Amino acid sequence: MVIFLIAIGALYALPNLYGDDPSVQISGTRGQQASSETLSQVQDVLQSMNIRPKAVSLDNGSILIRLSKTEQQLPVKEKIADELGNNFSVALNLAAATPEWLSSIGGSPMKQGLDLLGGVRFLMEVDMNTALLKQQEQLQDSLRNEFRVEKLQYKAIKKADNFANEIEFNDADTADKAVRYIRRTHTNLTPTYLNPTTVSFAPSEDGLSEARDTAIEQNLSILRKRVEELGVSEPTIQRQGADRIVVELPGVQDTARAKEILGATATLEFRLVNTTASPESAARGIVPADSEVKFTQDGQPTVLFRRAVLGGEHIINASSGIDERGLPQVSINLDGAGGDLMGNATKSAVGKPMATLYSEYKDSGRKDSQGKVILEKHEEVINVATINSRLGSQFQITGINSAAEAQNLAVLLRSGALIAPIVIVEERTIGASLGADNVAQGMDASLLGLALTIIFCLVYYRVFGIFASLALIVNLVLTIGLMSMIGATLTMPGIAGIVLSVGMSVDANVLIYERIKEEIRNGRSIQQAIHEGYSGAFTSIFDSNLTTILVALILYSIGTGPIKGFAITLALGVLISMFTAITGTRMLVNWTYGGKRVKKLWI
């Protein structure tokens, strides 16, 4: 059993010896995919530069170029970026050089964190004004419903400065009742009489502060979901200051896609089409008061009712696929409330067209007086379909240009729309050269610690020191193999966890060997002393290691990023050390002394 487990661990640790190939990754932006034509352009560029790559592959609309030397990466990236233009993202990458036979059985090297592998760091700023304006609109809808339930009649409700809402009531008595109701139910609103029948309801300072904190926290939660969709291990996503968020993505392969997914504020609205409006009038911007004109991607006007049937907040899942005609589509799953809203709205609209309105905020290229980027809302009708029957909580939308665009849209809808738009104010690409230094220093520290520990064991415990030293080496191999198998990420704190677990592995052997020496001093035979040493020390080893593992689990559950990396390597190292120090060395002792009449024990 021991030999089998060691062989499996060594096999899956093997990919870490092959390292990575310096590579260049080419991906389409805004849903565009690289094609065989793009591949030919890339090969022509490489030929013109007299560079012979190790391999060039086209897979899932993305091109990966494996190069022989690191210094070739930057010139190749710049030349290809000039050739392909803005329709493609060209990014530096490191591609695993694991042989195909090893990859076929699931072998892959350990993932490395930002401090070792390099990656990208985004500093994002949340547009609080848009968040507060959105909250102002939501408050209007809420107040309308509440006043209707309380039978408080009003004439008009409109927006005012400082995110306040002005409401004109039918008479002064109704205004007084409304103010008393708001003070009782909305403690974050401050009512101010403008005249006996008109009241302004403005958010208090505490209310504004709470709204800002809520917007940041909700955006943090959604960004974490989107990073999971990107498949990035050990990301760092945290708040910085009042309205900024830091996102660190180690080893990111496609910078443009990361920016597109993280920064997008995409959401969907489903609205009924106003078929009574004149297309000619709509083209001139003349529409009924309850409707507005929105345009399709090719610029065709579509008259939609202002009131949405359903918003994107009710979408709980979205997946991309193809329909029966082979065209891309996105399948939508709604929550219970969304399913009821869609069912009620479409029950009376069978035979009528309904539009899917896609909206997102984009950088306008302008800045305000404080130097902040001004965002503009872009809306586009991506689909108009006739309602053939009452819809429920599951349906599909079509009219999407490409499979990649459908996949992007599904990711954004699945992870949720950002509560407030965000702007990437700083993008910093971190090279892997610093990581290489960190890895080299970490490995030097690990090997030095291992060497010193082995010397101590050999000098102090002699033959048994050889057993302990072999257990240490096997412990290191198994830890690396297991981390590679489960896809754990190696960071600098993770390397520290490995070094610590190596040292703790010796602790178990020290307890066993000292117990054996104590039993021999007490007059036990050598075979009895060995048996008592292993069985008697087991409880102490188990208890001490269990407490360490529990601490590591707590660190993993409440920690983030590098702390989790440290917790994983420490827990795995301690678990493996119990196996190597107890079972592994016992096997070696049995091979050497088992079934023999031993007169003297070299320990």
pLDDT 10s digits, 345-400:
888 888 888 888 877 766 666 766 666 666 677 788 877 877 877 877 887 777 67
Average confidence (pLDDT) over 68-79: 83
Please give the mean pLDDT across all residues of the chain. Answer: 81
Superfamily of domain 20-97: ACT domain (3.30.70.260)
Cα(107)–Cα(482) distance, rounded to whole angstroms?
A: 11
Cα(148)–Cα(157) distance, rounded to whole angstroms?
A: 13
Q: What is the pLDDT of residue 328?
A: 81
Vertex 409 angle, CA 333 and 264, to 5°: 120
Comparing 364 with 155, the larger pLDDT belongs to 155
Query: Whose structure tokens read 């240009």?
Result: 401
- Whether the pLDDT of residue 44 is over 60: the answer is yes
Average confidence (pLDDT) over 587-602: 83
* CA count, 13 A, side-chain hemisphere, 537: 25
Q: Please check whether residue 510 is in contact with residue 599, taking contact to mean a CB–CB distance below 8 angstroms.
A: no
CA-closest candidate to residue 92, choices 432, 371, 330, 426:
432
What amino acid is encoded at 531 in this protein?
H
Task: Return the CATH class of domain 432-593.
Answer: mainly alpha
CA-closest candidate to residue 490, choices 65, 73, 108, 93:
108
Q: What is the pLDDT of residue 8?
A: 93
- Whether the pLDDT of residue 585 is over 70: the answer is yes
Predicted confidence (pLDDT) per residue in 197-207, tens digit: 898 988 888 88
CA 592 to mean position of chain CA atoms? 51
Q: What is the pLDDT of residue 313?
A: 67
Q: What is the pLDDT of residue 551?
A: 92
How many other C-beta atoms can be found within 10 angstroms of the C-beta atom of residue 355?
Answer: 23
For 401-432, letters b (16+ CB in 10 Å) and e give ebbbbbbbbbbbbbbbbbbbbbbbeeeeebeb
Q: What is the pLDDT of residue 601?
A: 80
Q: Please check whether residue 235 is in contact with residue 252, taking contact to mean a CB–CB distance below 8 angstroms.
A: no
Residue spans of the domains in the chain: they are 20-97, 126-245, 264-428, 432-593
Comparing 28 with 199, the larger pLDDT belongs to 199
CA-closest candidate to residue 586, choices 501, 527, 539, 545:
527
Kindly state the helix (H) or strand (E) to which residue 272 belongs, with its residue range.
strand 267-272
Cα(378)–Cα(302) distance, rounded to whole angstroms?
A: 15
Cα(482)–Cα(501) distance, rounded to whole angstroms?
A: 14
Cα(284)–Cα(296) distance, rounded to whole angstroms?
A: 16
Q: What is the pLDDT of residue 373?
A: 61
Q: Determine the CATH number of domain 264-428.
A: 3.30.1360.200
- Whether the pLDDT of residue 254 is over 60: the answer is no
Q: Please check whether residue 231 is in contact with residue 3, taking contact to mean a CB–CB distance below 8 angstroms.
A: no
Sheet holding 328-334, edge to edge: 315-322, 328-334, 394-397
For 126-245, the fitting CATH number among 2.60.40, 2.40.160, 3.30.70, 3.90.1150 is 3.90.1150
